[in-house]
A and B are shown apart, each in its own frame.
Chain A
Amino acid sequence: MTAREDILARIRTALQDSPEAPQIPREYRSESGMETEELIELLVDRLVDYKAQVAVVAEAEVPATIASLLEGARSYVVPEGLDGGWLEGMDDARSRRRVDSAGEPLSVTDLDGTDAVVTGSAVAVAETGTIILDGSANQGRRAISLVPDHHICVVKAADIAGILPEALRRIDGTRPITMISGPSATSDIELERVEGVHGPRRLDVIIAR
């Protein structure tokens, strides 16, 4: 017998009392009913609590905000499909820019030598301060938002969900997904929270309305 057959047979034997699979009670909240302004306010509150920096700006101000956040960066990476206008007016910075794509991925060493990364996002959860990336064109490969030490992430107001069930309904589970709630952190030494261990130590979120 293969291990697979053996284990499945053991489980079937263990379940000889044929327990019934219960109905799942789903009385928990599945909608928050929050309006856009409320959503933005709550998301900002949660992100600040995680020690992320947040800017709420009009869509047209996104490029200028990104540019100012990138001021100190010697180099930055963007996914090939980053939303068109977001890097507008940053021609002066072109020499600093590295474009990453699945077809032409930057090496890990290149990424390690890059100061910052700019990505979009798929959906955010206001109640938990969570930003979800799903590897779409404006977010790119998982590695680019991981290795550089500074992550600048743009969240569109329309992509903010109130609570987790609303957010997960908007996502295809089979994509490579990263949920981010604040910068990397540890509490392993005497429970004292230290921001930034292996992931980006600085997380800037730009909420665009």
Chain B
Amino acid sequence: MTTFLGMPALPAFGSGNLFAGESFPKAAHRELGNAQLRANLGHATHTIRDKRQAVVSELPDWEQLRDAGSAIKESVMARLPELLEEFEKNFTARGGVIHWARDAREANEIVAGLVRETGETEVVKVKSMATQEIGLNEYLEEQGIEAFETDLAELIVQLDRDKPSHILVPAIHKNRTEIRDIFLREMPGADQALTNDPPVLAMAAREHLRRKFLTAKVAVSGANFAIADSGTLAVVESEGNGRMCLTLPETLITVMGIEKLLPTWQDLEVFMQLLPRSSTGERMNPYTSLWTGVMEGDGPQNVHLVLLDNGRSAALADEMGRSALHCIRCSACMNVCPVYERTGGHAYGSTYPGPIGAILSPLLTGIEAEENNSLPYASSLCGACYDACPVKINIPDILVHLRSVDVDSKRGARKVPSQMDVGMKAASWALSSGKHLGLVEKGLPLGRLAAGRDKKIKKLPGIAGGWTQSRDIPAPPAQSFRDWWAKEHKSAAPSQAAPSRDDKEIQQ
């Protein structure tokens, strides 16, 4: 961990929807029982993955683009204060207004205050991870302001009072019939003859939102990029709901994490090649909107940006972990992750699921946060996420790093020794001499008793229970290798171990 020389500043961690409600193993165990979810996810991740592979292989300079993207982001982190100031100067010079928010609560209050100033009680929203992270919709509702999600998937999730399960396709856990049922139940005036045909459902959403778009006075958005040297914001989308929100209302309020900067207009050429191909597997997404402050006579004349810290400065302080902030939220890592593919996004608890969520959430909240300290273990460390990441975030390395931070923090807090500590101590005793090991091996048949007839241990008691919460352990063999060796070589090395009880099993 970083040592702060002379400055006693403690990292300021984030709040909001960054915490898992329960530990990953527990949530994953439940989600694994949902066969529909697993089928949907398997189909989705494989389809997007194949599309992505096809459009990525088309580019002869894909690796060069990744190298550039990675270096640009690294340089953004190194120069963050100056770039933020440069962006602020340029955005403000053109009539935009900038607000700074330390955490979720502050950001929510700023947005609610800005909406209140307009006298409106309704806002239209274009999909935004940042506002999801701070729980803006819920906060606005408490304040008597209704927020309408306008991205089709977000609308489905919102109408069903559910939570998104994927960054790119938030309603991927629902099938068409479920979606039709939600529309019939929740959309006032929905055609009772609505079929579950996707084009029919999409048109129902169009009808439902059209009037909102045409009358909305206030919109809330996120931003994919902020360009420092021009003072420009960018939103990348497909449906046109983004364009509707960004251009028709009078007031536009954008909420963006401080890490989303790009230094120069030229850098956009790198990221607009990396993002769509990694994300939806398209050469380019249907619509991208860019705006720089206020443009007289075109679009909103009252333009705000809330710059959000909420734990990002804390993540930045972690020298090993800071590159997690390079993430451009393309979702490529979750589509290749074997763990995500089976558990789905809900198991990760926070707004950020999948491999990136497993490192970003604990970095933003601090690994000491009880809810998130199991996330860095939610990985097989296979490295597929690193290969897929367009900005080359070394997720496996950061996972390992965070695991060690987790172990250290528990030791530092003088908690009851963790499973790992106890296990390691036992192992070091057992392996320290042949005699010890022989003793341990005598316990093997006991393990077979615990396993039962299918030779699988489903539940271990006590400290090892965490492991079996989400996996079964094969029963230990009836006889240890040392036993077998001793028996086979009786003459050479007289056995010290107990005689074997089951010869047949060894030949398996």
- Please indicate the chain B residues that have their CB under 8 angstroms from the CB of A81 in the complex: none
B273 CB, min distance to chain A CBs, angstroms = 6
> Which of the segments A24-32, A67-75, A85-93 contacts the partner chain?
A24-32
CB atoms of A190 and B176 under 8 A apart: yes
- Please indicate the chain B residues that have their CB under 8 angstroms from the CB of A28 in the complex: 61, 64-65, 68, 270, 273
A144 CB, min distance to chain B CBs, angstroms = 10
What range describes how many residues of B lie at the interface?
Answer: 35 or more
Q: List 22 A-B contacts (CB under 8 A).
A: A2-B100, A10-B11, A12-B81, A17-B319, A23-B71, A24-B72, A28-B61, A28-B68, A108-B214, A141-B297, A142-B246, A168-B269, A174-B230, A179-B272, A184-B240, A186-B238, A188-B151, A188-B171, A190-B176, A191-B43, A191-B47, A198-B239
User: Contacts A109-B214, A190-B176: A173 and B317 contacting too (C-beta < 8 A)?
Assistant: no
B75 CB contact (under 8 Å) in A21, A50, A192, A199: A21
B409 CB, min distance to chain A CBs, angstroms = 18
B287 CB contact (under 8 Å) in A15, A108, A180: A180
User: How many Å lie between the Cα of A46 and that of B276 in the bound state?
Assistant: 15
- Please indicate the chain B residues that have their CB under 8 angstroms from the CB of A16 in the complex: 2, 4-5, 7
User: Contacts A168-B265, A198-B239: A15 and B100 contacting too (C-beta < 8 A)?
Assistant: no
* Interface residue B333 (Cβ < 8 Å from any Cβ of A): no
CB atoms of A184 and B309 under 8 A apart: no
User: How many Å lie between the Cα of A178 and that of B235 in the bound state?
Assistant: 10
* Interface residue B440 (Cβ < 8 Å from any Cβ of A): no
CB atoms of A190 and B273 under 8 A apart: no
Chain B: CB-nearest residue to A6 = B102
User: Contacts A191-B169, A199-B243: A184 and B102 contacting too (C-beta < 8 A)?
Assistant: no
User: How many Å lie between the Cα of A16 and that of B317 in the bound state?
Assistant: 8
- Please indicate the chain A residues that have their CB under 8 angstroms from the CB of B171 in the complex: 188-189
- Please indicate the chain B residues that have their CB under 8 angstroms from the CB of A194 in the complex: 198-199, 202
- Please indicate the chain A residues that have their CB under 8 angstroms from the CB of B85 in the complex: 8
User: Most chain-B Cβ atoms within 10 A of its Cβ — which of A28, A109, A146?
Assistant: A28
User: How many Å lie between the Cα of A147 and that of B84 in the bound state?
Assistant: 34
User: How many Å lie between the Cα of A135 and that of B241 in the bound state?
Assistant: 19
Chain A: CB-nearest residue to B234 = A177
CB atoms of B78 and A21 under 8 A apart: yes
A181 CB contact (under 8 Å) in B101, B284, B317: B284
Binary interface profile of A, 136-170, with partner B (CB < 8 Å = 1, else 0)?
00000111001100000000000000001100100
CB atoms of B2 and A164 under 8 A apart: no
A83 CB, min distance to chain B CBs, angstroms = 19
Binary interface profile of A, 1-21, with partner B (CB < 8 Å = 1, else 0)?
011101111111111110111
What range describes how many residues of A lie at the interface?
Answer: 35 or more
User: How many Å lie between the Cα of A127 and that of B11 in the bound state?
Assistant: 45
B117 CB, min distance to chain A CBs, angstroms = 18
* Interface residue A22 (Cβ < 8 Å from any Cβ of B): yes
* Interface residue A63 (Cβ < 8 Å from any Cβ of B): no
- Please indicate the chain A residues that have their CB under 8 angstroms from the CB of B227 in the complex: 173
CB atoms of B230 and A146 under 8 A apart: no
A77 CB, min distance to chain B CBs, angstroms = 15
Chain A: CB-nearest residue to B150 = A198
* Interface residue B285 (Cβ < 8 Å from any Cβ of A): yes
- Please indicate the chain A residues that have their CB under 8 angstroms from the CB of B4 in the complex: 13, 16
B179 CB, min distance to chain A CBs, angstroms = 6
User: How many Å lie between the Cα of A6 and that of B81 in the bound state?
Assistant: 11
Since A7-B102, A11-B80 are in contact, a sample of 6 more A-B pairs with Cβ atoms closer than 8 Å, ordered by chain A residue number, is A28-B273, A46-B283, A143-B298, A174-B292, A185-B286, A189-B152
A7 CB contact (under 8 Å) in B100, B267, B291, B295: B100
CB atoms of A102 and B298 under 8 A apart: yes
User: How many Å lie between the Cα of A52 and that of B81 in the bound state?
Assistant: 44
User: Contacts A10-B12, A174-B230: A186 and B273 contacting too (C-beta < 8 A)?
Assistant: no
User: Contacts A179-B284, A191-B44: A27 and B243 contacting too (C-beta < 8 A)?
Assistant: no
Chain A: CB-nearest residue to B258 = A7
Chain B: CB-nearest residue to A108 = B214
- Please indicate the chain B residues that have their CB under 8 angstroms from the CB of A4 in the complex: 100
Chain B: CB-nearest residue to A203 = B286
A188 CB, min distance to chain B CBs, angstroms = 4
User: How many Å lie between the Cα of A116 and that of B349 in the bound state?
Assistant: 45
- Please indicate the chain B residues that have their CB under 8 angstroms from the CB of A181 in the complex: 282-287
* Interface residue B494 (Cβ < 8 Å from any Cβ of A): no
* Interface residue B206 (Cβ < 8 Å from any Cβ of A): yes
User: Contacts A108-B214, A187-B280, A189-B201: A198 and B270 contacting too (C-beta < 8 A)?
Assistant: no
In chain A, residues 110-137, which have Cβ atoms closer than 8 Å to a Cβ of chain B? 112, 125, 127-130, 135
- Please indicate the chain B residues that have their CB under 8 angstroms from the CB of A125 in the complex: 284
* Interface residue B316 (Cβ < 8 Å from any Cβ of A): yes
* Interface residue B232 (Cβ < 8 Å from any Cβ of A): yes
Q: Which A residues form the contact surface with B (CB < 8 A)?
A: 2-4, 6-17, 19-29, 46, 50, 102-103, 105, 108-109, 112, 125, 127-130, 135, 141-143, 146-147, 164-165, 168, 173-192, 194, 196-200
User: Contacts A24-B75, A103-B297, A168-B269: A188 and B156 contacting too (C-beta < 8 A)?
Assistant: yes
CB atoms of B198 and A189 under 8 A apart: yes
- Please indicate the chain B residues that have their CB under 8 angstroms from the CB of A192 in the complex: 198
A105 CB, min distance to chain B CBs, angstroms = 7
- Please indicate the chain A residues that have their CB under 8 angstroms from the CB of B153 in the complex: 188
Chain A: CB-nearest residue to B209 = A198
- Please indicate the chain A residues that have their CB under 8 angstroms from the CB of B48 in the complex: 191
- Please indicate the chain B residues that have their CB under 8 angstroms from the CB of A8 in the complex: 81, 84-85
A11 CB contact (under 8 Å) in B170, B288, B316: B316
User: How many Å lie between the Cα of A14 and that of B4 in the bound state?
Assistant: 8
CB atoms of B317 and A13 under 8 A apart: yes
User: How many Å lie between the Cα of A50 and that of B285 in the bound state?
Assistant: 10
Chain B: CB-nearest residue to A180 = B287
B288 CB contact (under 8 Å) in A141, A179, A182: A179
User: How many Å lie between the Cα of A189 and that of B12 in the bound state?
Assistant: 39
- Please indicate the chain B residues that have their CB under 8 angstroms from the CB of A3 in the complex: 99-102, 106
- Please indicate the chain A residues that have their CB under 8 angstroms from the CB of B102 in the complex: 3, 6-7
* Interface residue B289 (Cβ < 8 Å from any Cβ of A): yes
* Interface residue B145 (Cβ < 8 Å from any Cβ of A): no
User: How many Å lie between the Cα of A24 and that of B64 in the bound state?
Assistant: 11
CB atoms of A176 and B266 under 8 A apart: no
In chain B, residues 34-76, which have Cβ atoms closer than 8 Å to a Cβ of chain A? 40, 43-44, 47-48, 60-61, 64-65, 67-68, 71-72, 74-75
